[in-house]
Structure 1
Amino acid sequence: MTVISVKSTPVGDGLVLPYAEAGYPDGTPVVFVHGLSDSWWSFEPLLRRLPASLHGYAPTQRGHGDADRPPDGYTPEDFAADLVAFLDAVGIDRALLVGSSSGGVQARIVAGSHPDRIEGLVLLGVPATLADKPVALRAQEALAGFSDPVPRQFVEDLMAATVADGVARGLVETMIEESLKVPARVWQETLRGLLEADLSATLAGILVPTLVIWGDRDEILPRGDQQIILDAIFGARLLVYEGAGHVVHWEQPERVVADLADFAARIARPGPAPFPNSGN
C-alpha cells in the first residue's frame, strides 16, 4: 500500500483546500473529486492501493471537511472553477479526472470546458440529473429546516442509503464524521445548486475518453440514468459492478483501482480510441 500525504494549497482568491496525495512521482496524475458532504477521505481506500502507474490527488472541496468555508460559491460551476484552479496550484498540466456521485458533475464540467487539461474522465456512480431523484428531493426538504449542527441521524440515514455491502465500519464512521463537519448552509446551497442546474447541459461537449462505473445495487441511481450519460458522451463505456451500491469505490476498491489503471494505460497508448467497440 502507498503512503498518503495530507497537504493544503491556496486556490483562487485566498481559498485554501486540503488535499491528499499518494502514489509514485512518475505515475499518471489522477485527480479524485468527491460528492456532497464528503472530503478527501472518501478516496482513502483507492489512494492506499494505487499502483506505480498512477499518482493520485484528492482535494477536499470548499465548505467540506477541513477546507475553507467561504460565504458563497456552491454551484457546480463554482466547484468546477476550484478544480481547475487546483490543477494549476499543484502543477498538473493534464490529469485523469475521477468524479464520485455529485462530484462527477463538476468533473464533467471541467472535462467539457477544459479538454486540454483532461486525459480522460471516470464517473463513479454519477447522476445524469438529480431533479428526479426522490432521495435528493427528500434531503432538500429535510435540510431546509436544519441549522448547525446538522443532525447525526440525518447523516447516518443518508449514508445507509448509499452503501450496499462490504464497507468497513471504520470508513463509514469516518465519512459520517466528515459529513458532520459540513455547515447546514453548505449542505443547503450545494444541493440547491445541483437541483437547479441544467445537469443535462453538463454532459454536452465532452470529447475526452470516458469510463462510467455503476453498481447494480445502487438505490439512488437507476440503470437508465447511466444510459443517459452513455448516450450523451460519444464512445463512453459502462462497467457494471454486480452487488455494489452507490459508492462503488468503498465497496470494491481493488477493482476500481485496477479499472482506473487499465483505463489510464489505454488512453495513454497512441492509436485508435480506447473503446473501439464500446457502443455504450
Structure 2
Amino acid sequence: MTVISLKSAAVREGVTLPYAEAGYPSGTPVVFVHGLADSWWSFEPLLQRLPGSLHGYAPTQRGHGDADRPPDGYTPEDFAADLVAFLDAAKIDRCLLVGCSTGGVAARIVAGSHPDRISGLVLVGVPATLADKPAVAELDELVQGLSDPVPRAVVEGLMTGIAGRPIAPGLLKTMADERLKVPARVWQQTLRGLLDADLRATLAGILVPTLVIRGDQDDLLPRNDQQAILDAVHGARLLTYEGAGHAVHWEQPERVVADIAAFAASRRW
C-alpha cells in the first residue's frame, strides 16, 4: 500500500484546502477532484493503490470535509478557480486531472480554460447535464429543505443505491462521516450552483485527451448522457464497467487506477 501524506494549501485569502498526497515524486502528477459533499477521503482507495508511475494529489474542496467554509463561492466556476490556485500552491505545473461525479464539472472547466496546465482529463461518473434528470430534481428539493445539523439518516439515505457492487463498510462509514461535516448551506449553494449553470457549455473548448469512465448500472447517468460528453469533446473515448453503478471508483478502485495509469502512459507528458 502507498503511504498517504496529509497537507494543506492556501488557495486564496480565507480559504485553505487540506489535501492528501501519495506516490513517487517522479511519477506523473494526477489531481483528483471529488463531488458534492465528499472530501479527499473519496479517493483514499485510489491513493492506496497508485503505481510507481503516478503521483497523486486529492484536495478537499471549500466548504467540504475539513476545508475552510467561506460564506459564499460555491458555483462550478468558484471550485474551478480554487483548483487552478491549488495547482499553483502545490507547485504542479502540469497534471492529469481526474474528476468524479459532479467534481468533474470543475475539472472540465479547468481543462477547457487552462489547457497548458492539463495534459489529460478523466471523467468518472460525471454528468453531461443535470437539468434533465428527475432524481436530481428530487435531490434538490430534499437538499433545499436541510438545516443544521444535517441528519445522518438523510446522508446515509443519499448513499443508498449508488453502487452496483458491494462497497467496503468502512469506506461507506467514513464517507458518511465526511458528508456530515458539510453545513446545510454548502449542500444547498453547491447543488444550486450546479443546477443554475449551463453544464453543457462547460464541455466546450476541451482539447486535451479525455477518457470517460461509466458504470453500466449507473441509474443517474444513462448511456445517452455520457454520449453527450463524447460528442462534445473531440477524440474522447469511453470505458464502460459492467456491473458497476455511479460510485465506480469505490466499487472497482484497482481497475480505475489501472485505467488511469494506462491512460497516463499513453499520453506524451
Give the TM bin, normalised by the shorter chain.
over 0.9
User: Is residue 212–residue 239 contact of structure 2 (8 Å, CA) maintained in 1?
Assistant: yes
User: Is residue 161–residue 220 contact of structure 1 (8 Å, CA) maintained in 2?
Assistant: no
User: Is residue 74–residue 190 contact of structure 2 (8 Å, CA) maintained in 1?
Assistant: yes
* Paired-residue identity, %: 76
Paired position in structure 2 for 1:109: 109
Task: For 1:220-259, list aligned pairs within 5 A.
Answer: 220-259=220-259
Q: 3-state DSSP class of the match of 1:8?
A: strand
Paired position in structure 1 for 2:204: 204
CA displacement 1:117-162 (0-9 Å, x = unmatched): 0010000000000111222211110122211011212111111131
Task: For 1:23-34, list aligned pairs within 5 A.
Answer: 23-34=23-34
Task: For 1:65-214, list aligned pairs within 5 A.
Answer: 65-214=65-214
CA displacement 1:186-240 (0-9 Å, x = unmatched): 0000000000100000000000000000000101111110000000000000000
User: Is residue 4–residue 22 contact of structure 1 (8 Å, CA) maintained in 2?
Assistant: yes
State the distance in 1 between where 2:96 and 2:133 align. Answer: 28
User: Is residue 100–residue 123 contact of structure 1 (8 Å, CA) maintained in 2?
Assistant: yes
CA displacement 1:167-186 (0-9 Å, x = unmatched): 10100010011001100000
Amino acid paired to 1:97: L
State the distance in 1 between where 2:161 and 2:134 align. Answer: 12
State the distance in 1 between where 2:42 and 2:245 align. Answer: 15
State the distance in 2 between where 1:69 and 1:164 align. Answer: 33
Q: 3-state DSSP class of the match of 1:45?
A: helix
State the distance in 1 between where 2:41 and 2:99 align. Answer: 14
User: Is residue 14–residue 70 contact of structure 2 (8 Å, CA) maintained in 1?
Assistant: no
Amino acid paired to 2:164: A
User: Is residue 14–residue 68 contact of structure 2 (8 Å, CA) maintained in 1?
Assistant: no
Structure 1 segments (4+ residues) deviating >2 Å: none
Amino acid paired to 1:187: W
Q: 3-state DSSP class of the match of 1:2?
A: coil
Task: For 1:8-23, list aligned pairs within 5 A.
Answer: 8-23=8-23
State the distance in 2 between where 1:135 and 1:56 align. Answer: 32
- Unpaired stretches in structure 2, ≥5 consecutive residues: none
State the distance in 1 between where 2:6 and 2:13 align. Answer: 22
Q: 3-state DSSP class of the match of 2:220?
A: coil
Shift of 1:14: 2.9
User: Is residue 75–residue 193 contact of structure 1 (8 Å, CA) maintained in 2?
Assistant: yes
Q: 3-state DSSP class of the match of 2:238?
A: strand
Shift of 1:26: 0.1
Paired position in structure 1 for 2:264: 264
State the distance in 2 between where 1:148 and 1:92 align. Answer: 37
- Please report the TM-score for the alignment, with normalisation by the length of structure 1: 0.95
Amino acid paired to 2:250: W
Shift of 1:27: 0.1
Q: 3-state DSSP class of the match of 2:121?
A: strand
State the distance in 2 between where 1:138 and 1:161 align. Answer: 15
Q: 3-state DSSP class of the match of 1:96?
A: strand
CA displacement 1:247-279 (0-9 Å, x = unmatched): 10100011001000000000127xxxxxxxxxx
- Please report the TM-score for the alignment, with normalisation by the length of structure 2: 0.99
